[in-house]
């Protein structure tokens, strides 16, 4: 049986059941469906049942939405970054031509896109998504990274034609640098976080992420409702999008929503307790690299300030045993490849379900039906092989 511990658990004092006005375009989800489903290679990602783990934890069911096959990029991120690139190009073309629904793959659009520069900051997967989207539509792309981003992740971004620029400091410093450069150079910045000033592109990113749960709701038709969701949060884009889509579908009967973070950069834990966004400073690097963020996105805040029920923090020591467990056990129908960030929501479930006090606080029991997202696969293949002892290809061939 897998055994890992948590660091801290708290209840959000401002949690509510009434759906607030969501910070998205009214027709944004329909637009995201139309655009993303039109891309070559689109297919809904698998929804795996982890019945062995559910039995170990004495819960009713665990549904694990596996984003590792998404468009061959290894994570859910294309739904956000690449979608936001399409929206930036579409709006620019509409402003230029007056056409409200331009064909982004026309010769005229590609000639226009070739004059655009798209930029973003990343700790790995978002930059890869933005670069992939920029290449798909024919835009120039510049991606900012901090020093902690591995060379393999940089190479994966550069493979899509992006220029990589390193920034001193943290991920949050890279975000600021990308925004400042875009403003001075006339570039289009695609952040996956919002400081309240840059709103449109991060709103598009978050809107696109809603498709993860949108697909899952279709896959769950005929099943009993989900009772709990465990969502890993860095700046909060995926977590807020997922919580919002379940909230739309379930209304006041929405699932108990648990936010999972590394303990050293738990900006959501601190912010939700304080009732306002709080920046976490100091050493924020984490083995869960996609969550190594010290500041919440204000777009995500609009959802999670009342849409999150509990917050749990984890130490980096949970990463390797969880990755090995999934490589060995997988889901009921297939092996599961999960990276360092990808396992964190599930790790939050394991840590709390194994703790009697936490289990009681969250209402976990034999009737619980839990939804978790595997947000990435082996996005750093060398690290994955070192941790698991096998490559992803070897695990999948088992």
Q: DSSP class of residue 174? A: H
Residue 204 annotated as catalytic: no
Residue 340 structure tokens? 């360092």
DSSP 8-state secondary structure symbol assigned to residue 253: G
Q: List the catalytic residue out of 65, 77, 177, 305.
A: 77
Place of tokens 């992939």: 132
State how far the Cα of 34 lies from the Cα of 32, in Å rounded to an integer: 5
Q: Where are any strands of DSSP class E within the chain?
A: 8-11, 47-49, 61-66, 117-122, 140-146, 163-167, 188-189, 228-232, 256-262, 310-314, 369-374
Strand pairing category for 8-11 and 163-167: unpaired
Question: Which of 65, 66, 123, 204 is labelled catalytic?
Answer: 123
Active site residue 107: no
Side-chain-facing half-sphere of 313: CA atoms under 13 Å: 16
Cβ proximity of 139 and 85 under 8 Å: yes
Catalytic residue numbers, as ranges: 77, 123
């Amino acid at each position: 049986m897998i055994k890992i511990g948590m660091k801290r658990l708290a209840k959000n004092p401002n949690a509510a059941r009434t759906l607030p006005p969501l910070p998205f375009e009214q027709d944004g989800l329909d637009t995201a469906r139309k655009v993303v489903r039109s891309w070559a290679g689109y297919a809904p990602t698998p929804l795996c049942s982890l019945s062995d783990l559910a039995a170990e934890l004495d819960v009713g069911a665990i549904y694990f939405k596996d984003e590792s096959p998404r468009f061959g990029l290894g994570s859910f991120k294309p739904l956000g970054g690449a979608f936001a690139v399409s929206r930036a190009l579409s709006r620019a073309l509409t402003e230029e031509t007056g056409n409200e629904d331009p064909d982004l793959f026309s010769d005229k659009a590609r000639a226009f896109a070739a004059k655009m520069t798209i930029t973003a900051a990343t700790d790995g997967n978002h930059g890869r998504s933005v670069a992939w989207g920029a290449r798909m539509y024919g835009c120039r792309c510049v991606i900012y990274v901090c020093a902690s981003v591995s060379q393999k992740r940089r190479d994966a971004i550069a493979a899509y034609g992006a220029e990589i620029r390193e920034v001193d400091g943290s991920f949050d410093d890279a975000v600021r640098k990308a925004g400042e450069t875009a403003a001075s150079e006339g570039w289009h910045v695609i952040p996956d976080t919002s400081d309240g000033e840059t709103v449109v592109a991060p709103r598009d990113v978050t809107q696109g992420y809603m498709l993860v749960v949108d697909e899952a709701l279709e896959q769950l038709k005929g099943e009993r409702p989900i009772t709990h969701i465990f969502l890993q949060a860095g700046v909060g884009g995926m977590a807020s999008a997922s919580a919002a889509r379940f909230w739309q579908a379930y209304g006041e009967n929405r699932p108990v929503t648990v936010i999972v973070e590394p303990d050293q950069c738990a900006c959501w834990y601190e912010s939700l307790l304080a009732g306002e966004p709080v920046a976490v400073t100091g050493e924020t690097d984490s083995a869960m690299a996609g969550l190594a963020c010290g500041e919440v996105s204000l777009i995500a805040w609009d959802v999670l300030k009342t849409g999150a029920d509990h917050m749990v923090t984890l130490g980096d020591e949970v990463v390797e045993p969880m990755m090995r467990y999934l490589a060995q056990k997988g889901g009921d129908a297939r092996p599961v490849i999960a990276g360092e960030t990808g396992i964190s929501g599930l790790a939050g479930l394991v840590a709390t379900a194994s703790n009697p006090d936490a289990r009681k606080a969250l209402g976990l029991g034999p009737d619980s039906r839990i939804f978790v997202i595997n947000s990435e696969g082996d996005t750093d293949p060398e690290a994955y092989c070192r941790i698991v002892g096998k490559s992803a290809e070897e695990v999948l061939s088992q």
